[in-house]
Structure 1
């Protein structure tokens, strides 16, 4: 029986645009997701969200590869905007699910029926969405298994999912159908064609679509910046050459390609790269009057155009086309012609999914008393921290976590939330040092409409309101200005927030956890941190010692990182017997973060199957600030940071070099040099 529906409205969906009203959905800041649907709409019960590659990469980076934080960011965007549109990249993705209801004026009425499995062919940035639950997120494919619904407008495109093709394989392929078809249309037999960013989903589709046009003629070259994907590309017999290049500098990558190919002129480049600032590589490599097609919607058109102008090269520049008539039929035919195309997506979507698949609700609900698998607790120091954390997690008290940068303070905060009664409620992490003083109040407490120039029409809830009934983690609390400290103290005492532009206090029930790498007591003595706030937040203090003070944790952590990234990249390596001694001898100035980056680098760059003590020592010696000691010093908590920065300043020539050595940012180095009155060795 048909549910009640509302009279037919705009076929393009402008009736769903709330802010600004009446605009096209992809231009709107927020969409209306209310039910029932209109007569010319289609309601989809969502199963899978397929996030655009550029958007997912940016969100992963912003979430520090933390699946829980990434899921929270996606849910926050959808909740706030009524659609999935990354505010940084502007891109969204697609979805698949089953038809739940069809309005009688929708073109699919009488063609589809409830229960049919379909996927959308339009971006999530113009699709009204409601996420009710995220079951899992695949950190490799960018797909989320969800419960919720999406609304398809009268002009919205869709495709039936073929019975013989798994939905999680068909969805990413058909999402890139427009770009793949465009690449095929641009190609001619006998051409020399190149795909830059061949490891991207759109890159894989483009490789097969180009080979279909080239047949046995011409030359097809795949360029990737991801060494972990190199073996997979080399196994594809449709590719003539596979090149691995450095993505840090377009000029360096260009020289690497020229060294490999000589003066071979490239007729057509399909650029699928999702990395920002990568457009120039294709501009440099393409021959005079050749064609470059930017297949990723995240590409910056002006950068490419100005780049071509800057080097004085005439070429044809074409940009992303998401829809071309017949593109779905083309990709479906491509799947039938090349079974390897589906197989190419199978490893990303099926084989080894447990390695990259993070279960959200299941992990929290089924294992409330177990630690997540990626958290390593070893040695008496961390065992004691875990014991205390588990005990105080049940109490709604403020916790202050202290320790050096990179020691894992955020992990302790996660444990506190995991073992609390709030585990199924929001867990929001905020870096206080990243919020400027003039934005502090609006970000944490929110604002009403018209409060200031640029304010959203309907205002916005702050982080305290978003974390209501959950946990708010305020990192780098020691970098907060005195005026911001006053405002935070007021909220902690009253448990109420007042939005900017409002006189109404809103009650909030939030567990607050704070962290800092600074000595707050010293800051209080210096007049740079309020004494009343210090005593208000210092109810329970958990100190996380640096790696050099918990030597029992060093090797288990290293083993965990090696196993984690071996599984991720499909590269099997192990430590030699002497590697453990090398790991224990190092002082680890960058703590856990330095270790994780170093082991990942060794895993990818070393050609041997064994990581030896000598391999590690060579890595350590690259860091001029990493000191070797047979017996690491036991620095006092108060003086440890200053001593570390003082030692680094005496050995480094620039703030950039010092930032790299200490695994932090240049702005942090400048601030610490000023704080401790230090100078670099050449100044």
Structure 2
């Protein structure tokens, strides 16, 4: 028998001593038995976050050939060692989809046995057990078919998957749904003051980037600029029609990024960073007008580099960390997908 005492943040599952919050923990308790306010999910698919998967891909690529077996083994080792999916290099994880198989009597999440759900909290704090050795995954993509179970706490968040969309598509959208909601909030603040905000999205052809561009336009942006790394992405984003101007720049080159945004109609009042590579902090700051806002949604961001870089440039910019949660974020992202053909085409092309 387990103690009925639990904490809605999941502290009772932390094995570290002294205890820390589950996201910061080195190891979580993954027992199947539930505390009264928990929910257990039968997991069918993981969605690894982009920064984590790209790091694994880079580490296990030799002479241009990606070793999917090695990536699969690395993910299995992380989950077995830590009791959760948290890449030790990036600190990030992803999210999952599955079916509710048991609900504790005191769970506040409003879920019922049989609900097919996607979690809206990170795998970095979710107790997880994989029971199939990831036999159905080739290790070459971010979406991971699997069989196992996960546990949600009293303060976890989950959403029932809509019936009108394929599960892989829904999972891809839910994985990044915090980005468009926060983008819309920030752009809306500028528009409400009578300003005509220019919005630049770095990584505009990606999942969070394309949704952020759609959200910026939806919230009243006067001009949207999509920054992409190469011609193929430029053609993809141009074809989607989500940005008023598409420009090519290496986001890791501060001067190149600044010049590209300025040439496209900047500097930006709001710059949204959605790329999954490190080293983009300085360019994002330089591309943003004084009094503007930079929103960092990439888990590859060094927040110390961003803060110290802005100070060193004497840049009067507000910098925000996109924490992945805004009330109503899942519903808003799904609504954007349904009514914005360009967003849906981009997502489907990446599946």
TM-score, with normalisation over the residues of structure 2? 0.91
The residue number in structure 2 matching 1:130 is: 129
The residue number in structure 1 matching 2:314 is: 312
Residue correspondence of structure 1 range 105-184 to structure 2 within 5 A: 105-108=106-109, 111-133=110-132, 134=134, 135-137=136-138, 139-140=140-141, 142-184=142-184
**1:26–1:126: 8 Å Cα contact kept in structure 2?**
yes
The residue number in structure 2 matching 1:22 is: 19
**2:254–2:283: 8 Å Cα contact kept in structure 1?**
yes
Q: 2:59 aligns with which of 59, 62, 70?
A: 62
The residue number in structure 2 matching 1:229 is: 233
**1:6–1:39: 8 Å Cα contact kept in structure 2?**
no
Deviations along 1:116-165, whole A, 9 cap, x unmatched? Answer: 1100010101000011221124635x111111111111111000100001
The residue number in structure 2 matching 1:531 is: none
Deviations along 1:426-447, whole A, 9 cap, x unmatched? Answer: xxxxxxxxxxxxxxxxxxxxxx
Q: 1:334 to 1:248 in 2, by over 3 A?
A: closer
CA distance in 2, matches of 1:307, 1:124: 30
SS of equivalent residue, structure 1 residue 136: coil
Q: 1:6 to 1:96 in 2, by over 3 A?
A: farther
* Number of positions where the alignment pairs a residue of Structure 1 with one of Structure 2: 339
Report the Cα offset of residue 265 of structure 1.
Answer: 3.1
The residue number in structure 1 matching 2:218 is: 212
Are residues 1:277 and 2:279 paired?
A: yes
- Which fold has the larger relative contact order, with Cα–Cα distance below 8 Å and residues 6 or more apart in sequence? 2
**1:137–1:143: 8 Å Cα contact kept in structure 2?**
no
The residue number in structure 1 matching 2:197 is: 191
Report the Cα offset of residue 226 of structure 1.
Answer: 4.2
Q: Which has the higher strand share?
A: 2
Q: 1:341 to 1:200 in 2, by over 3 A?
A: closer
Deviations along 1:657-679, whole A, 9 cap, x unmatched? Answer: xxxxxxxxxxxxxxxxxxxxxxx
SS of equivalent residue, structure 2 residue 291: coil
Deviations along 1:639-671, whole A, 9 cap, x unmatched? Answer: xxxxxxxxxxxxxxxxxxxxxxxxxxxxxxxxx
Are residues 1:261 and 2:260 paired?
A: no
Deviations along 1:412-455, whole A, 9 cap, x unmatched? Answer: xxxxxxxxxxxxxxxxxxxxxxxxxxxxxxxxxxxxxxxxxxxx
Report the Cα offset of residue 104 of structure 1.
Answer: 1.2
CA distance in 2, matches of 1:341, 1:161: 19
SS of equivalent residue, structure 1 residue 273: coil
Deviates more, 1:126-135 or 1:196-205: 196-205
Report the Cα offset of residue 82 of structure 1.
Answer: 0.3
CA distance in 1, matches of 2:296, 2:23: 21
The residue number in structure 2 matching 1:334 is: 336
Q: 1:332 to 1:27 in 2, by over 3 A?
A: same
Deviates more, 1:35-44 or 1:16-25: 16-25
Q: 1:323 aligns with which of 322, 325, 330?
A: 325
SS of equivalent residue, structure 2 residue 301: coil
The residue number in structure 2 matching 1:95 is: 96
Are residues 1:239 and 2:239 paired?
A: no
Report the Cα offset of residue 320 of structure 1.
Answer: 1.7
Report the Cα offset of residue 295 of structure 1.
Answer: 1.6
Task: Name stretches of at least 5 consecutive residues in structure 2 with no aligned partner.
Answer: none
CA distance in 1, matches of 2:230, 2:59: 20
Q: Which has the larger radius of gyration?
A: 1
CA distance in 2, matches of 1:181, 1:138: 31
Report the Cα offset of residue 115 of structure 1.
Answer: 2.0
Report the Cα offset of residue 248 of structure 1.
Answer: 5.0
Q: 1:174 to 1:292 in 2, by over 3 A?
A: same
Task: Name stretches of at least 5 consecutive residues in structure 1 with no aligned partner.
Answer: 350-683
CA distance in 2, matches of 1:97, 1:298: 27
